[in-house]
Amino acid sequence: MSKKQRLVYSTDQGRICPDCNQAAAVCQCDKLKKDKIPETDGIVRVSRETKGRKGKGVTLVSGAPLPEVELKNLAKRLRNLCGTGGTVKDGVIELQGDHCVVLLKELPKNGWVVKRSGG
């Protein structure tokens, strides 16, 4: 008598991501890829906006070629760097206050072409 042996598929190995060599269960690559990277002209622009903000102003970083998740990480880093608050809106990082000088120094470290635009 033979009990029909059930074939057991091992899930020990699982799928290994070729990009990060981590198990698919912990890999974040797919998640990141799903985030669309906005179309840019390859130039990251730093600008200041005071209009309608009662003279206080904010510094905007637009055109960063990053999916939203990474953009938020970058915004966090920049907030710490500048010691200020800020948000990400429609692919644009917005920092409270004038931090153009700091950002123009910091952002090119990502290998980007960074320009100051506007006032």
Choose the binding region for Zn ion from 28-36, 41-49, 79-87, 88-96 (rule: CB under 5 A).
28-36
- Cα Rg of the chain (Å, integer): 22
What sign does the CA torsion over 13, 17, 21, 22 have?
Answer: negative
- Smallest gap from residue 64 Cβ to Zn ion (A): 22
Selection from 40, 39, 43 nearest residue 117 by Cα: 43
Q: Is 20 in the site for Zn ion (CB under 5 A)?
A: yes
Can you tell me the distance from the alpha carbon of 84 to that of 114, in angstroms, rounded to the nearest whole number?
21
**27 scored as a contact of Zn ion (CB under 5 A):** yes
From candidates 16, 29, 69, 101, binder to Zn ion by CB under 5 A: 29
Interacting residue ranges for Zn ion, rule: CB under 5 A = 17, 19-20, 27, 29
